[in-house]
A and B are shown apart, each in its own frame.
Chain A
Amino acid sequence: MSSSTYVQLVDIAKYFGKVKALDGLSLDIAEGELVALLGPSGCGKTTALRALAGLQVLDRGSMIVDGKDVTFQKASNRGMGMVFQAYSLFPHMTARENVEYGLTLRVHKTSKDKRKVRSAELLDLVGLSSHANHYPYQLSGGQQQRIALARALAISPKVLLLDEPLSALDAKVRTQLREEIRRIQVELGTTTLFVTHDQEEALGIADRIGVMRNGKLEQIAAPAELYDRPQTAFVAEFVGLTNPISGKVSGGSIEILGGVVKTLPGSITSGTGIALVRPENINVVAAKSGNATVFSRSFLGASCRLSISLANGERITAQISSPDAIDLGAGVNVNLSLLDLPLFVKAAG
């Protein structure tokens, strides 16, 4: 355990019959860090979060928080703040009473005056001071989640656990609240574990992202590193879009689209492989006698996505910033725009 490690999950496992929800997951989180667990449904990310909260009993492994083994500690004594995917405010209490609730309990007992000050502080932090006396049914979904965040933070949690707190909200509110959660987390320096299946959310908010698959961690890295230097084909394909383009691999390089690019560690080392190329890493130049043809085009606002048919019959997607330059059905020349960015290459077939 490094000196800055605050939360440590060591080889944790949880089985539901034959289903391996967690299968030897190990994860370290530094103090004040925001780690996002990302993965498809059923990969075990929520189970891991619930295990850390104490809501899920483990079959194997241990959990250490702030140097203390909490594996067998009751959830009510762990001091974790949690925000759930479903709206979880107590419906018979006002926003203020919800925020103060944790502080009225024996574990976090605080005097009435201090409770008032603390709840006012937190309602102000989430920008809902004016809604202190509103009941949950008088608040919108976004407001309810903000109050839930304030309630979780009120007990000064050791770790803030966010279980897809934005998934029930509409796109615009989700983006705003995501940024707000990050602002508050940085301001308070609370160690946070954020579970999501939305890669944009994870890429936009986390210090590090752990990609999970079948109860295990495939890779954990900073967002940019995860995106640019995936260590497995699953990570490359799950985070962002990729084009599978075949080419010949030799000596740690692959030859594709008329260029030679280095391969990432974990890639195959020889023979024919499939390079996973990001759409924005493909350069498209209009050319009547080009090596490819544009067969569909979708406008994305700031950019444009082109579906291109290569001379060898492969179909790829490219994302370019100037859509006007390329017409539908036009011939184009396609090559890699960043030859110094290594690619992950998986075995063909």
Chain B
Amino acid sequence: MKRSIGVRLWRWSIISAVAIYLLVPLYAMYDFSTKPFGFADQGRTFRAWQMIPTQQDLFPAITRSLITAAIVMAIILFLVVPTAIWVHLKLPALRRPFELLCLLPLAIPAIVIVVGIAPLYRWISINLYESPITLAGVYSMLILPYTYRSLSAALDAVDIHTLAEAATTLGSSIARIIFKIVMPTIKTGIVNGSFIAIALVLGEYTISNILNFKTFQVVIAQIGRSDGNVAVAVSLASLLFVIVLLLIIPTKKRQGSVLDVDAI
């Protein structure tokens, strides 16, 4: 059935409005990063973009932030997700307390968390290891509200109890049920939660700055203080990098529909 022109027009109007809302800031960043430094100068210059590779602190900071994000991802996959599944499957009475615990970081301001954990990190820096990578610990806590909500919604959408019981009667162990049955079933929830977590880790500034760790955002802020155009160019480059990353991550879409619905 052909859709009416009105419906198509309405649809394209919404898409266009959203596209403008999202793309205008990106264009503004591009515009600012290619403006000549002197107010009197005219035309465009890519000097700020050319200066990106010369920023000494930038690439080590990116590497550190990416490693931290990878560690946080590993913590999500091997600790947070199995724990959430375990609680849903085996300890339903603990669901509410666990949810409340996971939401706590959202209720506590970042500055309070920093004040609380600063002595701990001082001790870690002196006695164990001084690296921004140790921030993965506190980040894993910060991402809990977002990751847990996403996982919880995915777990509630599927009857994992029946799946788990079916697997058990077939001879499956609990570890196999979690990693081979439930995790693939709630894959979308895990991916969504992980994306939010990575975005938070790569974008976090307050804690790393106060604890004096040079992460990606801290270095961008430092560059911004000395050269605003370069800082905006780096920010735009990182945004484009993430967009490309999201586009190339394979997203296998289920395209089939129910076949033979009339058959038994």
Residues in A lying within 8 Å of B, measured CB to CB = 53-55, 75-82, 84, 86-88, 90-92, 101-102, 105-108, 131, 134-135, 137-140, 142-143, 146, 148, 151-152, 155, 161, 173, 176-177, 180
Contacts and interface: CB of A to CB of B under 8 A. Distances in A.
Contact of B264 (A91, A146, A155): A146
Interface of B is mostly: loop
Contacts of A105: 170-172, 176
Given A76-B172, A134-B256, 12 more contacts: A55-B165, A75-B168, A84-B162, A84-B165, A88-B163, A90-B166, A90-B185, A102-B171, A140-B261, A148-B166, A152-B170, A176-B264
Interface string B94-110: 00000000000000000
Contact of B258 (A78, A84, A87, A138): A138
Contacts of B166: 82, 84, 88, 90, 148, 151
Contacts of A55: 165, 168-169
A70 to B, nearest CB: 13
Contacts of B19: none
Closest 4 A-B residue pairs measured CB to CB?
A: A107-B171, A102-B170, A142-B264, A105-B171
A139 B169 CA distance: 23
A143 B263 CA distance: 8
7 contacts: A80-B169, A84-B166, A91-B158, A101-B170, A102-B170, A137-B254, A140-B260
Interface residues of B, number: 28
B259 interface: yes
Contacts of A152: 169-170
Nearest to B183: A92
B44 interface: no
Interface string B144-172: 00000000000000110011011111111
A155 B171 contact: yes
Contacts of A134: 256, 259
A155 B170 contact: yes
Contact of A173 (B163, B173, B176, B264): B264
B169 A82 contact: yes
B156 to A, nearest CB: 15
A92 B261 CA distance: 20
A140 B256 CA distance: 13
B257 interface: yes
A92 B187 contact: yes
B184 interface: yes
A215 B260 CA distance: 41
Interface in B110-166: 158-159, 162-163, 165-166
B181 interface: yes
